[in-house]
Amino acid sequence: MKNIDLLKKGNVLFRQDDNEAMYIYYRGFSDDNGIDQLVVKCFSVLRWTDRRILWGINNFSETVEGAIRQMLTENLINPSVAARKIPQVQLTAIKNITGPIIKQISYDEVYSSIDDLCNTYDLGIRCMFDGRKLEYDLYEGTDRTINQMANPRIILSKSRANLLKRKYEDADNDLKNTALIAGAGEGYARKTASIENGTGLSRRELFVDAREISDKYDQQDEEGNAIEIPDDQYRQLLLTKGTEKLSEYDEFISFDCELDVTKDNTKYNRDFFLGDLITIQDEELGILMNSRVLEADEVFQNDGKSIFVKVGKSVPTLPQAIKRMVK
């Protein structure tokens, strides 16, 4: 009864051995097989950003980090409409970890907009909790691969006895490397840009409909006419859209594995973390790949703890593929 009272929808949870906070969005109870079971599901508090949209047309001409911070500030932290403010949300100090970007986003969900940028530019974002405040924090994973000398190397391999199970997937049926991006205008007057790679069979083309990217600023001149975005800047907006779309049609190489938690040489959340670049080595399959840790599931049961790590990019499910097509 104590847990039923504490584990309510909306309550924020944190683990004492972690610094990220989660909130409960689902509760379910069953007594199957005569055993009472309470199931609670949580999202990171970062997911609060799906309760806000980008209000209007937003043109960003700064760093990727700056664009994400602007989205959070204008829509959650210090919006012009007081009712849109989420008082608990704060930002960590700026880190200057990304390069410039020219991008336009209109009326999209804040969460999905940030997620797209992070996936395209290899960034992570999390909600940090220090016992007093909740802070959204952008970060870059650390390179721990065999190709560098600055940090201790992390190599996951059955031959090193730090893996119990592994599953490998490799597919390129959806791979695209060339994009024709079409923006504002109609017919022959439609504004376009292209990203081109490969020749012959190695060239895989994709059309990107970017009609939603306006070629005018959300402001007017003294005569009441909309101010047009310069052609070179508008072309950069289209190229940014194309780059993000192509990142969704990458080659899918993933490696799912269960770590041996008894081994002391590769402890998750001590020796390597979510977002880090690590090396996967499998002599039987002839695989040597350096990739990012995208997911880590920690399972606690009566008989102990299991950790499942996903490295690389999995083949999309049918719902994911449909969502990608309609975006």
161 lies in the same domain as 279? yes
Residue 321 and residue 174: Cα distance in Å, rounded?
A: 10
Residues 41 and 62 in one domain: no
In a domain, 148, yes or no: no
At a CB cut-off of 8 Å and minimum separation 6, what does 122 contact?
A: 140, 141, 292
pLDDT the model gives residue 68: 95
What is the model's pLDDT at position 232? 93
Task: Give the DSSP per-residue string, 207-260.
Answer: EEE-TTS-SEEEEE-TTSPEEEPPHHHHHHHHHHHHHHHHHTT--EEEEEEEE-
Do 316 and 265 share a structural domain?
yes
Residue 315 has a pLDDT of 55
Among 247, 262, 286, the domain-final residue is 247
Q: Is residue 124 part of a domain?
A: yes
pLDDT in tens, 25-51: 999 988 888 888 888 899 999 999 999
Can you tell me the distance from the alpha carbon of 291 to that of 234, in angstroms, rounded to the nearest whole number?
33
pTM summary value:
0.79
Closest by CA position to 53, among listed 113, 102, 104: 113
CATH assignment of the domain containing 61: 3.55.50.10
Residues 307 and 297 sit within 8 Å (Cβ to Cβ): yes
| 144 occurs within a structural domain | no
Radius of gyration of the chain (CA): 23
pLDDT of res. 252? 82
Distance CA 91, CA 130 (A): 13
> What's residue 327's pLDDT?
60
Domain annotation covers residue 95 = yes
> What is the residue-averaged pLDDT of the chain?
88
What integer pLDDT is reported at residue 323 of this predicted model? 57
Mark residue 138 as left, alpha or beta (left: phi above 0; alpha: psi -120 to 50; beta: remaining). Answer: beta
Position 287 scores a pLDDT of: 85
Decide the pairing of beta strands 134-139 and 89-91.
parallel
Spell out the per-residue pLDDT of the chain, length 327, in tens: 788 889 999 999 888 878 888 999 999 988 888 888 888 899 999 999 999 999 988 999 889 999 999 999 999 999 999 999 999 899 999 998 888 899 999 899 999 999 989 988 889 999 988 778 889 999 999 999 999 999 999 999 888 888 888 888 888 888 999 999 999 999 999 999 999 999 999 999 999 999 999 999 877 777 778 889 999 999 999 999 999 999 889 888 888 888 988 888 788 888 999 899 999 888 888 888 888 898 888 887 777 888 898 887 755 555 555 555 556
Domain holding 53, by residue range, is 48-139
Residue 57 and residue 127 in one domain: yes
State pLDDT tens for residues 111-155: 999 998 998 888 999 998 877 888 999 999 999 999 999 999 999
Same domain, yes or no, for 57 and 108? yes
Determine the pLDDT at residue 1. 76
Residue 125's pLDDT is 92
Asked whether residue 23 falls in the same domain as residue 162, the answer is no
State residue 109's pLDDT score: 95
Kindly state whether residues 114 and 234 are assigned to the same domain.
no
Whether 290 maps to a domain, the answer reads yes
The side-by-side arrangement of strands in the sheet containing 205-209 is 192-195, 178-182, 205-209
